[in-house]
Amino acid sequence: MFIARTHIDRRTFLRGMGATVALPLLDAMIPARTLMAFTAAKAVPRLAFVYFPHGAVMHEWSLDGRILKPLAPFANRLTIVSGLENRHAYGPVHAITPGTWLSGAIGGATADQLAAECLGCDTALPSIAVATEQPTKICAGVWEGEYDESYGTTISFRRDGSVPMEFRPRAVFDTIYHRAPGSTSVLDLVADDAASLRKRLGPSDRSVLSDYLDTLRGVERRVDKKDEAGVDESFVSRLALMFDLIALAFRADITRVASVMMAAEASSMTYDHLGVSDSFHLLSHHQNDPEKIEKLVRIQTFHTRMFAEFIRTLSELPDGDGTILDRSTVLYGSNMSDSHAHDHFPLPLAVVGGGRLHGGQHLRCPDRTQISNLLLTVLRRADVPIDSIGDSTGECAGL
């Protein structure tokens, strides 16, 4: 039997003056009569680390609790991990809480950047790191000068220093698609190349390409509108936009590693759309006031709802013989427990994804197990060859 198929390289890009658009996986990128494991459709892992500040109301952080209820549709992909502590986050509280979350230590590369060193070798961007608010310096009090200021403003560190969290959607978009600042629509810039490619594709691939470019145009319009309106115009739409940009980057294999700060550490933002006009940070010092705790639950449930939409998007994006979520491991949580106590045990942590993960469970580790053990486990499940991270002593059995 003779089989013919137009074959294009997985690293085919649409190019134009001042723009480069990576493509999603197309059937035309998969050679005929070749095992999938040896084609562009082979399963490649993605890793995302999604952080929220100010801990969680821990009695609502469970499979039956309100905070994680938005993740109920993905219960079979969800593992709650309890009993973990970050003993290296004690001290100047907010000034070092973000920066120690993904390392479990003061100093050293974080889990996302260790993953980027391995998984980023074949992608245009080794990783992306985004936030929703411009970070501000957090004073360390009596510890001032003992810690790098960046520990309060980012969750991502390379071996040689911190990775700033980009809070401007347009800057993230322009980085992903190599769009020159001030340029017109990226799709207008690559229109001729896109038209030429369509002629080489079959009906199914033309449909996939059109869907991808339509999604891209929609995101670009939201990015440019957001840039015109200003970064403070709408926290909700900005957070959704950042998650959509990550999903696009994962789909086109622009990067396989992403880090997100859903709100700034010590954020003074209000959540008026939830009926909460209190400053987030001030509210986190709830003094065990039931009314304030109820408002915090409302905020934390909202964060999970936005995160769940990101998970849903990944679950609907095709990737080879599965979906992006099937190949992804996503860590969701905080580096603080009770925000009023400013403690770091037990940490609110959950892992969502597919592949080699065992979902649908509550994994109870021995009390005060170091968070580094979870980081080690997550990295190894994503095929990152690593012996240790921070003060890890071994994997979290059962994940």
Question: DSSP 3-state helix, strand, coil percentages of the chain (rounded to 5)?
Answer: 40, 15, 45
- In order along its 399 residues, the chain shows pLDDT tens digits of 233 456 788 888 999 888 899 999 998 888 765 555 545 557 799 999 999 999 999 999 998 999 999 999 999 999 999 999 999 999 999 999 999 999 999 999 999 999 999 999 999 999 999 999 998 889 998 898 889 999 999 999 999 999 999 999 999 999 999 887 777 899 999 999 999 999 999 999 999 999 999 999 999 999 988 655 443 458 899 999 999 999 999 999 999 999 999 999 999 999 999 999 999 999 999 999 999 999 999 999 999 999 999 999 999 999 988 999 999 999 999 999 999 999 999 999 999 998 778 899 999 999 999 999 999 999 999 999 999 999 999 999 999
Task: Give the CA angle between residues 244, 250, 256 to the nearest 5°.
Answer: 130
Structure tokens at 92: 């100047």
**Domains of the chain, with CATH numbers?**
43-167+231-381 (3.40.720)
DSSP secondary-structure letter at 168? -
Is 145 in a helix, a strand, or coil?
coil
- Closest Cα to residue 265, out of 384, 87, 131, 174? 131
DSSP string, 328-394: EEEEEE-S-S-TTTT--SS--EEEEE-TT---SEEEEEEEEEEHHHHHHHHHHHTT---S--TT--S
Which region holds residue 76: left if phi is over 0, alpha if psi is between -120 and 50, else beta? alpha
